[in-house]
Amino acid sequence: MTARPLRIGVDLGGTKTEAVVVRLGGADPEVLARRRIPTGAALGYDHIVEHTRALVVSVADDAGLDAAAFASVGVGVGMPGSVTRRNVDGTPSDVPLVKNSNTTILNGRPFRGDLARALGKPDVAFANDANCFALAEAVWGAARSARVSFGVILGTGVGGGVVLRDEGRVRAWDGAQSVAGEWGHVVLDPEGGAPCYCGRRGCIETYLAGPAIERAYAERGGRAGLRLAEIAELAKEGDRIASALITERLEIFGRALSIIVNVLDPDVIVLGGGVSNLEVLYDDGLKALRRWVFNDDLLTRVVKNELGDSAGVLGAALLDP
């Protein structure tokens, strides 16, 4: 019997970086080793490169991979943002550079090439972290039977990924400009919306990200410092500010998600991130979506993720080099 292949996946986030060694080919992922460390973005770009390299080496060691095995195993990295071949001043770049990352210290830097050189692995695969989330859910999670699925991350930021299944092959679609699925940066209100880190105003992210909702509650006179789950609970109890805010954001959720349904028409939309834990999304949020879809019925399923926090790092392990 042919041994099932091993892959190393890395999920590089703004606050933590996680790595796994996983055996592919099964109905469920077989994780052989897992490690998580602080990203340490405040310590600088070189720190992130070196600590990511050390994390990959250490998790491979935890899984019992010797030097020969490590040399042969593939590595996939999921991270916020995508790639460009233009420098920050607009001039052409000879190498891929990071763009659109909310870990802003990576923007304009050749992270892919630098990490590949540090690991001695020129074929390291990279993808947007939302694509990795969507890919894992399509292979092992809530969208495993779908032809076309869309994975939504609603957390400290808002992102999305498109996954296609064709003749047994499952792949994340990144698009001509590597921005496919960047649902969080569709602009809803360019004039009156809140500023976004991307430089525009009124992006979906500025309405539906967890910190955005928490900030809006405090700005409207609610108690400062409350977390989203607490605000949602207050809304259930009849708190005027919380109730009005959650109702408003559910309507925006429906309108914003209808863009995906009307353009892509996926079989299933999988919600992830901390905001996805709000049960009201799958009730009143779904009702709002139905009101805005360009059809007399909503056939697209909207479901909660099955893999939780593991989806991003598992999806990274699935990336093709």
Tokens representing 252 are 């925006």
Q: What average pLDDT does the structure give for the chain? A: 93
pLDDT-above-70 percentage for the chain? 99
Q: Are the beta carbons of 134 and 172 closer than 8 angstroms?
A: yes
Give the strand pairing for 148-154 and 158-166: antiparallel
Kindly state the average pLDDT of the residues 238-244.
Answer: 97
Fold (topology level) of 6-131+311-317: Nucleotidyltransferase; domain 5 (3.30.420)
Please determine, for residue 287, whether its predicted confidence score (pLDDT) is greater than 50. yes
* Per-residue pLDDT band at 101 (split at 50, 70, 90): confident
Please determine, for residue 2, whether its predicted confidence score (pLDDT) is greater than 60. no
- Sorted by where each begins, the domain ranges of the chain are 6-131+311-317, 145-305
Higher pLDDT, 16 or 260: 260
Residue 95 Rama label (left phi>0; alpha psi -120 to 50; beta): beta
Kindly state the average pLDDT of the residues 143-151.
Answer: 95
Q: Among the listed ranges 23-37, 45-59, 211-225, 237-251, which one has the minimum average pLDDT value?
A: 23-37
SS3 content of the chain, % helix, strand, coil (to 5): 40, 25, 35
Kindly state the average pLDDT of the residues 208-233.
Answer: 96
Burial bucket for residue 203 (CB in 10 Å: 0-12, 13-18, 19+): buried
Please determine, for residue 239, whether its predicted confidence score (pLDDT) is greater than 70. yes
Kindly state the average pLDDT of the residues 234-255.
Answer: 98
Question: What is the SS3 assignment for 51?
Answer: helix
Determine which helix (DSSP H) or strand (DSSP E) holds 244, and give its type and residue range.
helix 240-264
Kindly state the average pLDDT of the residues 6-16.
Answer: 91
The span from the first CA to the last CA of the chain, in angstroms, equals: 25
Higher pLDDT, 266 or 97: 266
Kindly state the average pLDDT of the residues 114-130.
Answer: 92
Kindly state the average pLDDT of the residues 200-214.
Answer: 96
pLDDT digits (tens, 9 = 90+) for 257-286: 999 999 999 999 999 999 999 999 999 999
Please determine, for residue 102, whether its predicted confidence score (pLDDT) is greater than 80. no
pTM above 0.85, yes or no: yes
- Determine whether domain 145-305 maps to CATH 3.30.420.40: yes
* Per-residue pLDDT band at 3 (split at 50, 70, 90): low
pLDDT of residue 1: 44
Please determine, for residue 225, whether its predicted confidence score (pLDDT) is greater than 90. yes
pLDDT of residue 44: 95
pLDDT digits (tens, 9 = 90+) for 34-72: 999 999 989 999 999 999 999 999 999 999 999 999 999
